[in-house]
C-alpha cells in the first residue's frame, strides 16, 4: 500500500453550532464570562464528532500526501474526510526532482462517492515520480456544501441535524463534567461519561479504509 498522510491546512471559519446555540443548550444566562470556554468546547466537540465519523463538517482545505501515485493495477486515490467539494491541485515531484502540477485535463474526480475518488483521465496513467517521501500532494476542499452558491455563504446550512445534535450532546457532557470519568455515589467506583451522541453519528460514519494500493 502506498504510504500517505492527511492534514487540515486551513479552516473551518465557522462551527457547526453558533455560540448562541451552544449557550442556549447549556442554559447559560446572557453573560460573557464563559464565552472563550464555550467556544473551545464547541470546537472540541465538533472535532470529536469528525474523528468518529471520519468526515469534515465545515469548509476546510486538506492536503493528502503520498509517496507515489498508485500503480497501474489500481489507479484510484481515495480522498479522506468527505464530502468533497472541489480539488484545488494535484502536484508531484517528477523524476528530475522538480515540482509539477498535473493539469485538470489529466485527472477526474468522483465527488458523489464517499470517500471521493480521484483517477487519471480516460486513457491516461499517473506520471512517474521521484522515489522520495511525500512525492504527491493533493489539495482539496471538503465539507457540507451550500445549496445556493449565490446567497450569502453560510457554511453550516447543510450540516445534518444529527451532527449538530451530537455536537450539542458532547458539548453538554464536557461542559458539566470536566473529568474523563464520572464518580458514582459513594465515590467507590467510576464510569465513563455516556456518549449517546454515537448513536446519532453511526449512520453517517465513513468506514476506515486504505487510500491506495
Task: Report the C-alpha gap between 185 and 193 in whole angstroms.
Answer: 14
Flag the least confident range among 11-15, 37-41, 141-145, 180-184: 180-184
Is the pLDDT confidence value at 154 over 60?
yes
Task: Report the C-alpha gap between 111 and 99 in whole angstroms.
Answer: 26
Is the pLDDT confidence value at 171 over 80?
yes
Label residue 183 by pLDDT band (50, 70, 90).
low
Percent of the chain beyond pLDDT 90? 69
Task: Report the C-alpha gap between 128 and 121 in whole angstroms.
Answer: 15
Query: Do residues 10 and 141 lie in contact, with contact meaning Cβ atoms separated by under 8 Å?
Result: no
Write down the pLDDT at residue 185.
Answer: 56
Write down the pLDDT at residue 29.
Answer: 83
Task: Report the C-alpha gap between 82 and 147 in whole angstroms.
Answer: 17
Take residue 151 and report the three cell numbers written for it. Answer: 446567497
Higher pLDDT, 194 or 76: 76
pLDDT tens across 5-27, in order? 999 999 898 999 999 999 999 99
Give just the sign of the alpha carbon dihedral 77, 5, 8, 200: positive
Task: Report the C-alpha gap between 160 and 142 in whole angstroms.
Answer: 15
Phi, psi of 4 (to 5 degrees): -150, 165
Is the pLDDT confidence value at 151 over 60?
no
Task: Report the C-alpha gap between 121 and 119 in whole angstroms.
Answer: 6
| Cβ within 8 Å of residue 75, ≥6 positions away | 69, 119, 120, 125, 126
- Please name the residue that has the C-alpha cell 494500493: 213
Phi, psi of 78 (to 5 degrees): -95, 135
Take residue 168 and report the three cell numbers written for it. Answer: 450539542
pLDDT tens across 56-101, in order? 999 999 999 999 999 866 789 999 999 999 999 999 999 999 999 9
Label residue 209 by pLDDT band (50, 70, 90).
low
Please tell me the pTM assigned to this model.
0.86
Write down the pLDDT at residue 58.
Answer: 93
- Please name the residue that has the C-alpha cell 494535484: 90
pLDDT tens across 110-150, in order? 999 999 999 999 999 999 999 999 999 999 999 998 766 55
Is the pLDDT confidence value at 34 over 80?
yes
Query: Do residues 88 and 139 lie in contact, with contact meaning Cβ atoms separated by under 8 Å?
Result: yes
Amino acid at each position: 500500500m502506498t504510504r500517505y498522510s492527511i492534514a487540515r491546512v486551513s479552516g473551518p471559519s465557522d462551527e457547526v453550532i453558533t455560540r448562541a446555540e451552544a449557550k442556549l443548550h447549556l442554559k447559560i444566562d446572557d453573560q460573557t464570562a464563559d464565552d472563550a470556554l464555550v467556544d473551545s468546547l464547541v470546537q472540541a466537540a465538533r472535532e470529536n464528532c469528525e474523528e468518529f465519523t471520519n468526515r469534515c463538517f465545515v469548509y476546510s482545505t486538506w492536503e493528502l500526501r503520498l509517496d507515489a501515485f498508485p500503480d497501474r493495477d489500481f489507479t484510484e486515490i481515495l480522498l479522506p474526510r468527505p464530502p468533497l467539494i472541489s480539488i484545488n491541485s494535484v502536484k508531484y515531484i517528477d523524476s528530475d526532482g522538480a515540482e509539477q502540477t498535473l493539469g485538470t485535463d489529466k485527472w477526474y474526480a468522483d465527488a458523489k462517492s464517499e470517500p471521493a475518488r480521484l483517477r487519471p483521465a480516460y486513457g491516461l496513467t499517473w506520471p512517474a515520480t521521484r522515489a522520495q517521501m511525500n512525492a504527491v500532494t493533493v489539495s482539496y476542499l471538503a465539507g457540507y456544501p451550500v445549496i445556493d452558491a449565490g446567497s450569502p455563504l453560510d457554511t453550516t446550512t447543510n450540516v445534518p441535524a444529527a451532527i449538530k445534535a451530537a455536537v450539542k450532546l458532547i458539548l453538554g457532557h464536557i461542559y458539566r463534567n470536566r473529568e474523563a470519568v464520572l464518580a458514582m455515589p459513594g465515590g467507590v467506583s467510576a464510569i465513563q461519561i455516556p456518549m449517546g451522541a454515537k448513536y446519532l453519528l453511526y449512520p453517517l460514519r465513513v468506514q476506515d479504509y486504505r487510500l491506495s494500493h
